[in-house]
Structure 1
């Protein structure tokens, strides 16, 4: 390149790359922990929502995970095939699918309780630092959500 690169276009100066590469590494740290549970990272996210409140709809879980319901269907079918959840059509509205934890799904919660401490240790941050970072990211997500 004959002219010096624009500072604003250097990869190491990009927030988007810092977020992307950090997300990739975070998922890699989670992978062996979740393999012990028999879950992928997206399945783990879905199970966390269900552990917070059993008997929610596909629409509710998709809202919590910021994804569209159609992309969740294959993931939820796998969780059902693994015996962790049941999917039931609502008696009030056939279009609505309700999700319920099975006994195995509830038992998995106990095994998953060790995951957050492992992640905290891997970050080498204090709980306060991690909380602050999470709050800043949630705020950023909110601002970006307004822009799209």
Structure 2
């Protein structure tokens, strides 16, 4: 077998494994907030930037509408967000936080530090990893 086809030589496998492991560390913390990881990502964008339309939110999270729409419906059912069609263009759906959604931010404040601690990796190493990942994603997106 070619060395190129050995699992140990694949860059995709450790990225996949790391992604699963990191998300597994989020699960118990997010369970306390009654959020899934993708729901948490939506909430992060809304806490940071406020009102978003669905297409902008999808672009920021790299999620298609088929994935995003049911996720947003579940957040609306939990009374964390409101989905409203724009009066000026009914094709555009605006997403805003409810009062309860805004309050959830306070409960989530400790998650980043708890994750960093649970991973048992230095913040410097995490920052370096993020920088490298961001560079790779930027390079990939340039080629699109």
TM-score by length of 1: 0.92
Residues 30-70 of structure 1, C-alpha deviation per residue, up to 9 Å, x if partnerless? 11010000000000001101101221111111111012223
Two-structure CA RMSD over aligned residues (Å): 1.2
Picking from 65, 73, 96, the partner of 2:92 is: 96
1:134 aligned onto 2:142: no
Stretches of structure 2 lacking an aligned partner (at least 5 in a row): none
Q: Which aligned segments of 4 or more residues in structure 1 are displaced greater than 3 angstroms?
A: none
Q: Could you tell me how far apart the structure 2 residues matched to 1:78 and 1:34 are?
A: 15
Q: Could you tell me how far apart the structure 1 residues matched to 2:49 and 2:141 are?
A: 25
1:26 aligned onto 2:38: no
Task: Report the counterpart of residue 12 of structure 1 in structure 2.
Answer: 8
1:112 aligned onto 2:91: no
TM-score by length of 2: 0.94
Task: Report the counterpart of residue 125 of structure 1 in structure 2.
Answer: 121
